[in-house]
Amino acid sequence: MNRQQKFLTFTLFLLTFVLGTSEFVIISLLSDVASELGISISTVGSLVSAFAIAFAIGTPILTAIFSRFAKYPLILTLIGVFITGNILTALSESYALLLVSRILTAVVTGVLIALAMAVASETMPAEKRGPAISIIFAGFTIASVVGVPIGTFIGQWGGWQMAFWFAALLGIISLLASAATIPKGLKRSNSSLQKQIGLLTNTRIIIAFFIPALSIGATYTVYTYLTPLLQDVLFVPNQYLSLVFLLYGVISIFSTLIGGKLAAHNGIGKLRYVYLMQAVILASLYASPHSLLGGFISLSFMALVVYIMNSTMQLYFIDLADKHYPAARDLASSLTPVSVNVGIALGSALGGFITTNRELIDVSWVGAIVAIAASLLTFISYSLDRKAMSYHTHTLEDCQTRK
């Protein structure tokens, strides 16, 4: 990368860091919000679900609509809306206003992620797209390790509203950095909304969409209930729980960076076996109950593979769009984060069902089955790629023969 590309990559990394901090910080402040507004924790917890649903539904639709606008002013405008959404959250004195502000922030967050990935894909050399996108994705992971703890501390010190004033301040910094570094001449799409939405009906896209959803769903079947697993299965003392989550977050950063290197060298082919490894890692938790060392090893490897697929799948969606729906490139850029949010919802729901109807430790082998399903879909996608490539090669050979 040249100097300008490095600055741009850092700016987009900063943007995803800010978006991630705003999205996840409320989870650690649920009790504070519930207490001040006089509502139950479960009611406040529904804000998390509402955010994920708004993200999953709103992101592809608005990304398709907004793709007809020039990216530079669009990104700056949406960051402005993001800042406004966090200010509204900080000013909220009722659950209704809080819900509206979080839905607004969720939709804008999804579109900004898609635009960040599209900008990176358009401006980076082909061999640098994977590493650049992995760095941008790492912003989310580092947000959970650094941004959320800082926001939580600020919220506990000055009231939960201060955490969102903090997020708004980060948004302003990101706005200034984006204004200075994002290229102004990026292309826009002139395609109709109907043609872009057609991307979502493509069989290849549908199969690919559920690959990251199942992979993240496999992890979140376990991760959602990691605290009770640590307490009741591995017998980790309460004072060390935060340390375990911190270590998990640090290791998951390397997962994103490893994924960037994987994406540059036949990533979709390698993911077939990564998901099988993920299944073994998740199942190993079931095989080593009450073993603190064995549990920590399994959790470390779980963190190491959780985000490996991000860069590969991001580029895979864009490449599929280039082949079948070139006008829907920006929409394709939104599919990985949308799929991830669907996976989080799927894994959380599945984990809840298992913990209600079976033993807590059973989430491990159920998660492993979901990871195997992700591997099977990846095998199917890879096989379709090989067939398409073979058909293209034979067609070229026939044309040359006729000449």
End-to-end CA distance of the chain: 42
- The predicted structure's pLDDT at residue 400: 56
Q: What is the pLDDT of residues 103-156, one digit of tens each?
A: 999 999 989 998 998 888 888 877 777 778 888 888 888 887 888 788 888 888
Do 201 and 128 share a structural domain? Answer: no
**What share of the chain in percent tops pLDDT 70?**
92
341 and 390 inside one domain: yes
At 83 the pLDDT is: 97
Q: What is the pLDDT of residues 254-301, one digit of tens each?
A: 887 788 777 767 778 888 899 999 999 999 988 876 678 888 888 889
| Co-location of 374 and 267 in the same domain | yes
For the chain, give the secondary structure using H, E and C: CCHHHHHHHHHHHHHHHHHHHHHHHHHHHHHHHHHHHCCCHHHHHHHHHHHHHHHHHHHHHHHHHHCCCCHHHHHHHHHHHHHHHHHHHHHCCCHHHHHHHHHHHHHHHHHHHHHHHHHHHHHCCHHHHHHHHHHHHHHHHHHHHHHHHHHHHHHHHHCHHHHHHHHHHHHHHHHHHHHHHCCCCCCCCCCCHHHHHHHHHCHHHHHHHHHHHHHHHHHHHHHCCHHHHHHHHCCCCHHHHHHHHHHHHHHHHHHHHHHHHHHCCCHHHHHHHHHHHHHHHHHHHHHCCCCHHHHHHHHHHHHHHCCCHHHHHHHHHHHHHHHHCHHHHHHHHCHHHHHHHHHHHHHHHHHHHHHHHCCHHHHHHHHHHHHHHHHHHHHHHHHHHHHHHHHHHHHHHHHHHHC
pLDDT band at 340 (very low <50, low <70, confident <90, very high): confident
Do residues 244 and 367 share a domain? yes
Say if residue 150 is in the same domain as residue 36.
yes
Domain that holds residue 397: 192-403
Same domain, 145 and 252: no
Residue where a domain terminates, one of 188, 205, 239: 188
Whether residue 173 sits in one domain with residue 113: yes
- Domain end (from 159, 188, 217): 188
Which tens digits make up the pLDDT trace of 192-242?
Answer: 566 667 777 888 889 999 999 999 999 988 887 777 788 888 888 877 777
Any idea which of 16-30, 167-181, 240-254 has the lowest mean pLDDT?
240-254
Does residue 288 share a domain with residue 153?
Answer: no
Name the residue type at position 378: T
For residue 250, the Cα-to-chain-centroid distance in whole angstroms is: 16
Give the mean pLDDT of the chain. Answer: 84
Are 394 and 296 members of one domain? yes
Domain end, chosen from 132, 161, 188, is at 188
Q: What is the CATH number of the domain that holds 227?
A: 1.20.1250.20
φ and ψ at residue 359, rounded to 5 degrees? -75, 150
Residue 120 shares a structural domain with residue 208: no
Please, are residues 270 and 260 in contact by the beta-carbon 8 Å criterion?
Answer: no
Asked whether residue 163 falls in the same domain as residue 28, the answer is: yes
Dihedral sign computed on CA atoms, order 391, 392, 395, 397: negative
**Whole-Å CA distances, 391 to 206, 279, 282, 385, 388:** 21, 33, 38, 10, 5
When divided into structural domains, the chain yields a total of 2
**197 and 181 inside one domain:** no
Going by pLDDT thresholds of 50, 70 and 90, the confidence category of residue 403 is low
